[in-house]
Amino acid sequence: DAGVTQTPRHEVAEKGQTIILKCEPVSGHNDLFWYRQTKIQGLELLSYFRSKSLMEDGGAFKDRFKAEMLNSSFSTLKIQPTEPKDSAVYLCASSHRGFSNERLFFGHGTKLSVL
């Protein structure tokens, strides 16, 4: 499967822990997005990379959320320290030439539960 790969699929953390979520975009894609999805807020943008450069850092999510793209085929999202309100599904998406030019491809997501 050459789609977007996210690991783990499920994560359970205690309040105050540090967790790292991983994403491998579609091979050759230059744009990578991290989103958080909850029933109340829907999909919220956490970060956006273009050719490994951070273009958007999600504003309100800056303090405890940090996304990195160490190479073109791997990205991480670190949440430190976790809080119960961080419980959500975290989605990674990629595209070759950006949202304005072609479809976005999503991974299956990581479901995070913070106790």
Partner 1 sequence: GQQVQQSPASLVLQEGENAELQCNFSTSLNSMQWFYQRPEGSLVSLFYNPSGTKQSGRLTSTTVIKERRSSLHISSSQITDSGTYLCAIDTNAYKVIFGKGTHLHVLP
Interface with partner 1, residue 33, by CB under 8 A: yes
Interface with partner 1, residue 10, by CB under 8 A: no
Max intra-chain CA distance, the chain: 40
Cα–Cα distance between 113 and 3 in angstroms, integer? 25
Interface with partner 1, residue 74, by CB under 8 A: no
Closest to partner 1 by CB, 66 vs 111, is 111
Cα–Cα distance between 43 and 83 in angstroms, integer? 19
Burial group, residue 40, by CB count within 10 angstroms (0-12, 13-18, 19+) = exposed
Interface with partner 1, residue 96, by CB under 8 A: no
Residues found near partner 1 in the complex (CB under 8 A): 33, 35, 42-43, 45, 48, 55-56, 89, 91, 93, 98-106, 108-109, 111
